[in-house]
A and B are shown apart, each in its own frame.
Chain A
Amino acid sequence: MPFLPVILWSDVLIWLLLLAAILLGWLSARNPLWRTAWQRVGRSRSGMASATLLLAFAAVGLLDSLHYRPRLAADGGQGASAQPAVYAVEVLSLLDALLTPLRTRNEKTYSAPLATRAHAKETIEVRGSDGRLQQTRDHPRLRYGGAHLGADEERRDADVAGRVLQALGLALLTWAVVVVAVCGGVARAQGSDWRQAGQRIWRSDGDFAWSAVLCALAALLLLAMPVALLAGDYHVFGTDKVGQDVLYQVLKSVRTALVIGLVTTLVMLPLSVLLGVLAGYFRGWVDDLIQYLYTTLSSIPGVLLIAAAVLMMQVLIDTHPQWFATAAERADLRLLALCFILGVTSWTGLCRLLRGETLKLRELEYIQAAQAFGVSSLRIIGRHILPNLMHIVIIALVMDFSSLVLAEAVLSYVGIGVDPTMISFGTMINNARLELAREPMVWWSLSAAFFFMFSLVLAANLFADAVRDAFDPRLAGSP
């Protein structure tokens, strides 16, 4: 085999989450109440535009969640086939393979976006007109940035402009194809002709906010396509201190943010649902115990509890190096431990909410009727209480995502976040925070991290609002 698949724990969880999402979709399609709620989300323009963006981020994250170790080239000639295969220690993902030029073409140090020369001056040797070597201080030429231009560096602007125009044309073309496909699909589904379908989509008076999806897609294509075409030969967002491409870093950060935002809820959810429902349904000493537990946990300032837990985990990891085959596995386990800690420290809010709601539900007539019929508690909880709590759970899930992504950045800055070797928005900001003070200023790392993180969190916030508006029964009547 040319590669050895590596299954990291976070990969497993990410794909499990995808499976769970599909299952949720299937269940929602069967339940009429949920179906109407999701249809309300589908009609929301901001919700669908942000969902488009989120799907793009999710695609990047999923591509980055298939890991392998490439086989090292054997140097034994004919005898190589008999030798056992040797695999690299480095764990790569499918995204890494797609971005090989970005990953491998490292410069020496800082270079500005689209630059052909390094950011700082160095002493370099130049052969003067009389043929002798002279030492001058100048910006050295980059090894890869704009290397295809050769000595003809003035051509860079024309080259970049040409590529951008080409990319914009390509983006518009792709977009047009998608628009035609959507129009055709809508026309067939409604049995109307193309013109009517197009008008409906444009006015977005259908059941689904296609216009918002198409607008978001257009914006995405117009931004991503030029970057994609330029990235092959330039460092579109520049390079960082050790010469690594910033575009590569921000794309890798997406997965870390998604893992933190999603896997944490996996830990939080069972705790808060189980304990909240038990406390609300059984009351008495169960309630007292669970209330004591969450009051105690929530009275510890969140950051401090996380800090204490992460400190302890760090000690544990440092004293047991034999547990991890590769550095990637260690970083991955630390990421999961962080998710676990974040989950254990943040379930209390949702638990309190669910307990209150269960207290209210158990006094309703249909539950009392079920109790009078002698239905078992387990069955009442499963059949009558849990389904009526699901809207709170779904709202809490989408609302928590963005705050978790933001929290990761802060925690990594404080030094209690992800492993320093793992690329994340937090580590990027942490490495770049002193760069603004440099002369001349280095702004691209921070800007790129800012832009990507902002768009991810903004999309998540807008989507969460759309979901909340659709699922919250208090808001259900209002438009």
Chain B
Amino acid sequence: MLAYIARRLLYALPILIGVNLITFALFFVVNTPDDMARMQLGVKRVTPEAIDRWKAERGYDKPLFFNDEASGGAMLTETIFFSKSARMFVGDFGRAEDGRDIAREIVSRMGPSLAIALPTFIIGLLVSVSFALLLTFFRATYLDFWGVVLCVAMMSISGLFYIIGGQYLISKLWKLVPISGYGGGLDAWKFVILPVLIGVVSGIGSSTRWYRTIFIEEIARDYVRTARAKGLAEAAVLFRHVLRNALIPILTGVVVVIPLLFMGSLLTESFFGIPGLGSYTIDAINAQDFAVVRAMVFIGSLLYIAGLILTDLSYTFVDPRIRFN
């Protein structure tokens, strides 16, 4: 098991390097270090010497990917790409354009992001799995038919409308909770409850339908017929047999997103003014702050790879036949 995890982590290394390569290429194809220097220095102070000094101060005075003046391994290490991305692997993300340390910012913004994303994820999962089980229980009836129709209708509504409509209804019309913002400590629930509710409702349609498909596929299997033939009640069949056997396809889709919960949700956070990582990313995108976007891309792909490994590990817990060696 440990050897398996170690091997998977080793595989992750080239992928992370590739991710960095892509973001670097995207950025520097159109925006050379000279352009960056000119933009930062402003129009007035642009002289060749000033640009060179700016580049030297920030480590942009080397070639991008390949240094043919150096020799041996230094041909690859004495480059902007290596010096900038190697530091990301040890958690040094550099500074944003406003001078703040990105790593510290990320740590402090993780809490609010998780406060929204984690409850949304757990409640959403419970609600949609229960609805899906309900629809499966009443399959091939009008309840099932109209339930699926409702699901399709709900997944046809853009997430933006859920947020705008929910904010209007609950915060403006009924004045139950503040419309946006975030507070630490015990007051936080007031600000958390609405985004979580909207997050759950907006996700119900597609996930209920997806789980229903899995359950319906599972219910056609032979072991279900055997269970019924034994005289088990339909509810017992669903909970004790179908649900447990459907866990593998459910886990495939679910576990991979758990680490990504740290990243928060771009939309929810920016609409509700939550100082999490999602809104941090949006602000960086709008301010064209590449250092932050690059750091978020790196962390995002790191978490995604962690999610993939977790998914494989979770299989061993639900299906004893699966072993890694």
A292-B18, A406-B158 known; A301-B152 Cβ under 8 A? no
B282 and A299 form a contact (CB under 8 A): no
| Residues of B with C-beta under 8 A to A335 | none
Nearest to A296 among chain B residues (CB) is B18
B304 and A297 form a contact (CB under 8 A): no
A89 to chain B, nearest CB (A): 27
The yes or no answer to B193 lying at the interface (CB within 8 A) is no
How distant is the Cα of A319 from the Cα of B15 in the complex, in angstroms?
32
| Residues of A with C-beta under 8 A to B27 | 308, 312
Query: Interface code A298-331, partner B: CB below 8 Å = 1, 0 otherwise?
Result: 1111011101110111111001000000000000
A415 and B152 form a contact (CB under 8 A): no
A478 to chain B, nearest CB (A): 10
A308-B297, A450-B161 known; A415-B286 Cβ under 8 A? yes
Stretch at the interface among B46-54, B83-91, B288-296: B288-296
B157 and A454 form a contact (CB under 8 A): yes
The yes or no answer to A436 lying at the interface (CB within 8 A) is yes
The yes or no answer to A347 lying at the interface (CB within 8 A) is no
Nearest to B288 among chain A residues (CB) is A311
The yes or no answer to B43 lying at the interface (CB within 8 A) is no
How distant is the Cα of A210 from the Cα of B263 in the complex, in angstroms?
49
Number of residues in A with C-beta < 8 Å to the partner? 44
| Residues of B with C-beta under 8 A to A414 | 266-267, 270, 282, 285
Among A269-311, those with CB < 8 Å from B are 292-293, 295-301, 303-305, 307-309, 311
B29 to chain A, nearest CB (A): 7
A315-B30, A450-B161 known; A458-B152 Cβ under 8 A? yes
A300-B300, A305-B297, A458-B153 known; A406-B159 Cβ under 8 A? yes
Nearest to A433 among chain B residues (CB) is B164
Query: Interface code A435-452, partner B: CB below 8 Å = 1, 0 otherwise?
Result: 011000000001000100
A461 and B155 form a contact (CB under 8 A): yes
| Residues of A with C-beta under 8 A to B300 | 299-301, 304
How distant is the Cα of A453 from the Cα of B159 in the complex, in angstroms?
12
When A and B form their complex, what is the total count of cross-chain residue pairs whose Cβ atoms lie within 8 Å?
Answer: 120
| Residues of B with C-beta under 8 A to A292 | 14-15, 18
Contact check: which of A293, A297, A410, A416 meets B158 at CB < 8 Å? A410
Interface residues on B, range: 35 or more
Query: Interface code B4-21, partner A: CB below 8 Å = 1, 0 otherwise?
Result: 000000000011001100
Residue of A300, A425, A429 with most partner-chain B CB within 10 A = A300
A311 and B285 form a contact (CB under 8 A): yes
A299-B304, A308-B297, A312-B26 known; A402-B156 Cβ under 8 A? yes
A315 and B31 form a contact (CB under 8 A): yes
B160 and A301 form a contact (CB under 8 A): no
The yes or no answer to B301 lying at the interface (CB within 8 A) is yes
A308 and B263 form a contact (CB under 8 A): no
A304 and B164 form a contact (CB under 8 A): no
Nearest to A304 among chain B residues (CB) is B297
A312 and B31 form a contact (CB under 8 A): yes
| Residues of A with C-beta under 8 A to B159 | 406, 410
A300-B300, A453-B158 given; 19 more Cβ-contact pairs under 8 Å: A293-B18, A295-B15, A297-B22, A300-B304, A301-B260, A301-B296, A303-B266, A304-B296, A305-B297, A308-B26, A312-B30, A313-B30, A315-B288, A316-B30, A410-B158, A413-B160, A414-B267, A415-B282, A429-B158
| Nearest 7 pairs of A and B residues by beta carbon | A296-B18, A301-B300, A458-B156, A299-B301, A457-B156, A299-B304, A307-B285
30 contacts between A and B (CB under 8 A): A292-B14, A293-B18, A296-B22, A296-B301, A297-B22, A298-B304, A299-B305, A299-B308, A300-B19, A300-B297, A301-B260, A301-B297, A301-B304, A304-B297, A305-B22, A307-B285, A308-B294, A312-B27, A312-B29, A312-B30, A315-B30, A316-B30, A410-B159, A414-B266, A414-B267, A414-B285, A436-B172, A446-B161, A457-B157, A461-B152
A positions within 8 Å CB-CB of B? 292-293, 295-301, 303-305, 307-309, 311-316, 319, 402, 406, 409-410, 413-416, 425, 429, 433, 436-437, 446, 450, 453-454, 457-458, 461-462, 465
